[in-house]
Amino acid sequence: DTVLTQSPALAVSPGERVTISCRASESVSTLMHWYQQKPGQQPTLLIYLASNLESGVPARFSGSGSGTDFTLTIDPVEADDTATYYCQQSWNDPLTFGSGTKLEIK
Amino acid sequence: EVKLVESGGGLVQPGRSLKLSCAASGFSFNDYWMGWVRQAPGKGLEWIGEINQDSSTINYTPSLKDKFTISRDNAQNTLYLQMSKLGSEDTAIYYCASVYYDGTYYYEGVMDAWGQGASVTVSS
């Protein structure tokens, strides 16, 4: 299975720029997607195909990368962005998720 | 408004079976691939599998293929997850999700709408 590695946690202040990384154990082309999960809620789609912003998602969120290295950027960060962010690949079977990066807003 | 509502969760004894349902509304259910994802307490997301529009293609994560069965009833706009031989490791919140379709292209594996989840606890 394709393993997706994310840093476990980050803490930033409102207004700052934050980058959340996701590294795949093998190439996933650009079939990498990002989800936000706030405490007690279901995940929501933020970015699909590495860099496409889901409808309704603020333009503060952006994604980049291809192959094995991907980044989700939030600029500027707001207090409401407190959540866990998951990357997920759909290039290789089975689909797999990263372990999540918990973002704390100071 | 797209709405996915899971039901059928609860407490189940080890070794028993349980069937979850996901009622869909607000979109043309029979045009969409659908999937299931689970999340153990305090853990990350795990993809279970997906089913295409007419149930002719069903994909599973290998570790769950022999225990879980995904099905759907397009007349009832409902997705199902039949779980058997349940163990404590299956304790989780189970989410159903629709796969992204923009009217022209299907974006396989991209889950753009999620239900609120059904909680399953496996314990004696």
B interface test, pick of A45, A46, A55 with most B CB neighbours within 10 Å:
A45
**Given a cut of 90, is residue B108 above it in pLDDT?**
no
Q: Over the stretch B69-80, which tens digit does the pLDDT of each residue have? A: 999 999 999 999
Is the minimum CB–CB distance between A34 and chain B shorter than 8 Å? no
A34: exposed, middle or buried (C-beta count within 10 Å: 0-12, 13-18, 19+)?
A: buried
Give the Cα separation of A4 and A100 in Å (integer).
9
Q: Over the stretch A6-48, which tens digit does the pLDDT of each residue have? A: 988 999 999 999 999 999 999 999 999 999 999 999 999 999 9
Give the Cα separation of B32 and B29 in Å (integer).
6
By Cβ distance, the residue of B50, B108, B111 closest to A45 is: B111
Q: Which secondary structure element, helix H or strand E, spans residue B18, and what is its range?
A: strand B18-25
Give the Cα separation of B44 and B118 in Å (integer).
16
Which of B119, B118, B115 is CA-nearest to residue B5?
B115
Q: Over the stretch B15-55, which tens digit does the pLDDT of each residue have? A: 999 999 999 999 999 999 999 999 999 999 999 999 999 99
pLDDT of residue B65: 95
Q: How many CB atoms lie within 10 A of CB B74?
A: 16
Count of A-B CB contacts under 8 Å? 57
Q: Any idea what DSSP says for residue A95? A: P
Maximum separation of any 2 CA atoms in chain A, in Å: 38
